[in-house]
Amino acid sequence: MPQKKKIDDGLFNRTYSMFQLLRRLPDRHISEEEVAGLIGVLPPDSANSLQSFFKPSIQQASRAFIAMIGTVLEETRHARERGKKVVLLPFNFPPEIVHSFNNLAPVTTELLSTAATVVLEGQGERYWDYVLGLGLPDHLCSANAIELGSMLSGMDYEPDAIISGCVGSCDVNAKSHEFVSLLLDLPQIPLEKPTMDFSDGFKYFRNSYYKMIGLLEELAGEELKEENLREVSIKANRCTELYYDLWEMKKHVPNPVPGIFSLLICGTRFAMWGRDEGIRTLEQCVEVSRNNLESAAYRSREEIARIVWVYLSYYYDFLNFYDWMEEKGISNFGDALQLAFPQTIDLSSKETMLDAMIEMAWNNVMTRQMGASSMARGWTDDIVYVIKEFGLDGCVYCGHHSCKQTWSAFTVTRNEVLKKTGVPILGLQGDSWIRSMTPIGVIQEELEQFINNVVAGKRRRRRGKASVL
């Protein structure tokens, strides 16, 4: 059990330093010996994730991702001296519109919490403890509470404004950001999603989005320019094209897209959609997956099961999560955070580009499922779709501790998915960002039993082929 640590520096500052260090590694393939040397000097928590990230088979993609996150942190850190303002976003808010302003720099709360959990010694625990020490309840979502806790400690950078984009899709998230905005006196820019997912609801959302643009223009001190929107939209379209290339490749058996890429895809969606760095990360993911698809050795791998995490997965122990599943032959299709369904932006006019961005915000992760008129229906429809698209055998609900709203719809969703597809969902208990909630060994054991005792039998019957771990 890790020791509790006092906060002596902010999460942002520490994560920034770590990424700047990683960006200084030579711009070439890092050999296994060199990785071993690097791992040897890193603290154990950082070594765990980086050992997984620097595996030769995926290194070209993970290094592009590290460079991309390094750029996000660098642009945030130096925004003010470059005359820009930093806008903090929740993960369900697509960043393209903010990238379209010359004077704004977006940064995503949950991206910071996750990056810290991945690279910092002690992960995000000391910031989480700080939040609880303030008297806030432990049913806050650690996804955002970790970073917001760091900000509240007074030892971290502060943004210039917050986009409140979770109203109507996650009250916990919306309230956590509101609390920080009140305490630190930061303006909130609202984007409201009504819980009506038909045309009147969309009209309301569209109006709210246009009002938000007006407030962003005031904050930036500039008008949103059509040429900027077009430049970002062209790049966003390229990201979308690559996203669907990966989607199509996942239909192959065995799945050539490594499980850890789910993290890279959603990190790109949350932070750098519409930027060159985002394109580069996705291009590298496509290249690695395409090589796998063309490799006879990769194609001969046995795939014991094809599973998806129906909402979140776990982000604190890469070796015992992504690498362990790969070794066991469990093909991990990632989690619902990739279910963003981006679309191609019509570049004809400012209005067509904005319309597409508004639709993508409306259809983005969490907003689309948990902000639907019926949460269980919105969620079930997407999971059924994914099961059919990829021919999955099993699903897992990670039981993220704070996520009371998905917990409230889980049983209905599980029953509906089983009824419509015959595919079972394992319900676990844990926290996606806090390792002390459920040890990873317990999660592995439960997953293994589920695959052996439930999925394998169904898979045998469906495919007429025996397979056990």
Cα–Cα distance, 202 to 353 (Å, whole number): 16
For the chain, the residue count is 469
Q: Which of 366, 375, 423, 443 binds ligand SF4 (CB under 6 A)?
A: 366
Options 38-46, 168-176, 265-273, 348-356: segment touching ligand SF4 (CB under 6 A): 168-176
Q: How many residues of this chain bind ligand SF4 (CB under 6 A)?
A: 13
Smallest distance, ligand SF4 to C-beta of residue 373, A: 16
Options 4-12, 117-125, 170-178, 433-441: segment touching ligand SF4 (CB under 6 A): 170-178
Smallest distance, ligand SF4 to C-beta of residue 128, A: 13
Cα–Cα distance, 165 to 361 (Å, whole number): 9
**Measured between alpha carbons, how far is residue 217 from residues 97, 189, 211, 452 in Å?**
11, 11, 10, 56
- Residue 320 makes contact with ligand SF4 by CB under 6 A: no
How does DSSP assign 89-154, residue by residue? E-TTS-THHHHT-TTEEEEEHHHHHHHHHHHSTTTTHHHHHHHHHTT--TTS-HHHHHHHHHHHTT
Cα–Cα distance, 64 to 70 (Å, whole number): 10
Please classify residue 303 by burial: count the beta carbons closer than 10 Å to its beta carbon, then call 0-12 exposed, 13-18 middle and 19+ buried.
middle
Q: Which of 18, 89, 141, 212 binds ligand SF4 (CB under 6 A)?
A: 141
Q: Which of 15, 59, 173, 413 binds ligand SF4 (CB under 6 A)?
A: 173
Cα–Cα distance, 395 to 162 (Å, whole number): 34
- Residue 172 makes contact with ligand SF4 by CB under 6 A: yes
**Measured between alpha carbons, how far is residue 327 from residues 167, 251, 398 in Å?**
41, 20, 20
Q: Which of 104, 370, 396, 456 binds ligand SF4 (CB under 6 A)?
A: 370
Smallest distance, ligand SF4 to C-beta of residue 312, A: 6
Options 76-84, 169-177, 355-363, 443-451: segment touching ligand SF4 (CB under 6 A): 169-177
Cα–Cα distance, 182 to 338 (Å, whole number): 31
Smallest distance, ligand SF4 to C-beta of residue 219, A: 24
The 98-117 contact track toward ligand SF4, x by CB under 6 A, reads --------------------
- Residue 403 makes contact with ligand SF4 by CB under 6 A: yes
Cα–Cα distance, 82 to 77 (Å, whole number): 10
Scan residues 204-263 and list those touching ligand SF4 (CB under 6 A): none
Residue among 105 and 312 whose Cβ is closer to ligand SF4: 312
Helix (H) or strand (E) holding 307: strand 305-309
Most distant CA pair in the chain, distance: 64
The two three-digit tokens of residue 6, written as one number? 């006092």
- Chain centroid to Cα 412, Å, comes to 25
Residue among 403 and 434 whose Cβ is closer to ligand SF4: 403
Options 45-53, 256-264, 283-291, 397-405: segment touching ligand SF4 (CB under 6 A): 397-405
Smallest distance, ligand SF4 to C-beta of residue 118, A: 17
Options 9-17, 30-38, 115-123, 166-174: segment touching ligand SF4 (CB under 6 A): 166-174
Residue among 111 and 143 whose Cβ is closer to ligand SF4: 143
**Measured between alpha carbons, how far is residue 183 from residues 88, 163, 262 in Å?**
15, 16, 35
- Chain centroid to Cα 74, Å, comes to 20
SS3 label, residue 31: coil
Options 17-25, 180-188, 236-244, 401-409: segment touching ligand SF4 (CB under 6 A): 401-409
- Residue 131 makes contact with ligand SF4 by CB under 6 A: no
Q: Which of 400, 401, 435, 459 binds ligand SF4 (CB under 6 A)?
A: 400
Which residues lie near ligand SF4 (CB under 6 A)? Answer: 141, 143, 170, 172-173, 312, 366, 370, 400, 402-403, 405-406
